[in-house]
Amino acid sequence: MKELIKRLVETPGPSGYESKVREEVRAAIEKYAAEVYVDALGSLIARKGPDNGSGKRIMISAHMDEIGIVVTHVDKNGFARFTNIGGVYPRNCVGGRVRFLNGVQGVIGQEQAGAREALPLSQMYIDVGATSPKNCPVKVGDVAAFERPFTDLGNRLVSKAMDDRIGVAIAIETLRQLEDTPHQVYFVFSVQEEVGLRGATTSAYGVNPDIGIAVDVTRSGDTPNGPKMAVKLGNGPAIKVRDSGMLSDPRVVAWMVARAEEARLPYQLEVLEGGTTDARAIQISRAGVPAGCLSVPSRYIHSPSEMVDFNDVQNGVKLLVAMLSQPVELG
């Protein structure tokens, strides 16, 4: 599974430009699904389970996109000025490297090079080695992702784009391991989550599920003077109770907890004070959908070096398989 994760995180795919990631996902799942298709916005959807079973129509959603940048103009000295695609934090940018979708690489610098703190993105630039607009290999509208390789530290894995390629990897592995299910399960690999849950919004409308589960990262509370949060790397996948965009359906939370305890899998309960996931979009689709979220604890979210624990990842797969293998009645 680590090789799959490496391929996914090292493939560039900022919001709106997920095609290369979609190709990797399709290649990994095609032979395990009854049906695979791409919707109008670009989300990849794979269906597994009986056509007319007695179970539920369940949507599992993990987003393929990552944060990135887009060039706004090239100044007279050949430096590419840019703005964000998604939640790009200035403090994580200075000295960082990016790769444009056309292959051009560059490094991010900022005005006032000696400043002790990061300046706003409007006072940063990308140096691609050009000296003028004429010899600059990028232009207005060109898009880039952060460039940082996958690092295997044993139980801890580090890379850019763990948010949310680690969720994508969990969904892929769940689809592969799910030998039998009474449900019609729709694995949705959504687009444009980082810019407003857009792919999950349209996919949920199309799938029209009975139950929705997002698979995404969440913050951790286990770093020095870090956020006060009862989630730690290595203590199991987290079952979301609440974030700033949604309240998980208590029946879905109870279902997830029950399956984890039956399978003797470690789990944590998550209350996230900032941020949300595809579950919000699923929850308010059409007439409403009972929804929840399986979260992977992560350090350094929205930086080029996000960290997760491989045991949490594997246990996340086991929990989803346990949930989807048996009938469910939420009551």
Q: Which SS3 state, helix, strand or coil, does residue 146 take?
A: strand
Segment 217-246 shows an average pLDDT of: 95
Contact 160, 145 (CB under 8 A): yes
What are the phi and psi torsion angles at 253 (to 5°)? -60, -45
What are the phi and psi torsion angles at 107 (to 5°)? -120, 145
Segment 264-277 shows an average pLDDT of: 97
Lookup: tokens for 259: 């399956």
Closest Cα to residue 299, out of 194, 214, 217? 217
Predicted local confidence at residue 52, as pLDDT:
73
Percentage of the chain surpassing pLDDT 90? 94
Alpha-carbon distances of 246 from 2, 265, 280, rounded to whole Å: 31, 25, 5
Q: What is the CA radius of gyration of the chain?
A: 20
β-partners of residue 106 are 98
pLDDT in tens, 128-175: 999 999 999 999 999 999 998 999 999 999 999 999 999 999 999 999
Percentage of the chain surpassing pLDDT 70? 100
Q: At what angle do helices 19-29 and 2-10 cross, to 10 degrees?
A: 160
Domain ranges of the chain: 2-66+160-324, 70-146
Pairing of strands 211-218, 57-63: parallel
Sheet arrangement for strand 291-297: 35-38, 44-48, 184-190, 57-63, 211-218, 291-297, 238-242, 268-271
Average pLDDT taken over every residue of the chain? 96
Lookup: tokens for 143: 């898009």
CATH H-level superfamily of 2-66+160-324: Zn peptidases (3.40.630.10)
Residues whose CB is less than 8 angstroms from the CB of residue 258 and which lie 6 or more positions away in sequence, other chains included:
none
Would you give the DSSP letter of residue 66? B
d(CA 3, CA 22): 17
Tokens 């944590």 -> residue: 268
pLDDT in tens, 290-323: 999 999 999 999 999 999 999 999 999 999 999 9
Lookup: tokens for 70: 């887009």
d(CA 299, CA 232): 9
Q: At what angle do helices 162-177 and 19-29 cross, to 10 degrees?
A: 20
d(CA 246, CA 294): 14
Predicted local confidence at residue 24, as pLDDT:
98
Task: Cite the active site residues.
Answer: 193
Segment 191-200 shows an average pLDDT of: 98
- Read off the pLDDT band of 53 (50, 70, 90): low
CATH H-level superfamily of 70-146: Peptidase M42, domain 2 (2.40.30.40)
Lookup: tokens for 66: 């990552």
d(CA 159, CA 156): 10
Neighbours of 151 (CB within 10 A): 12
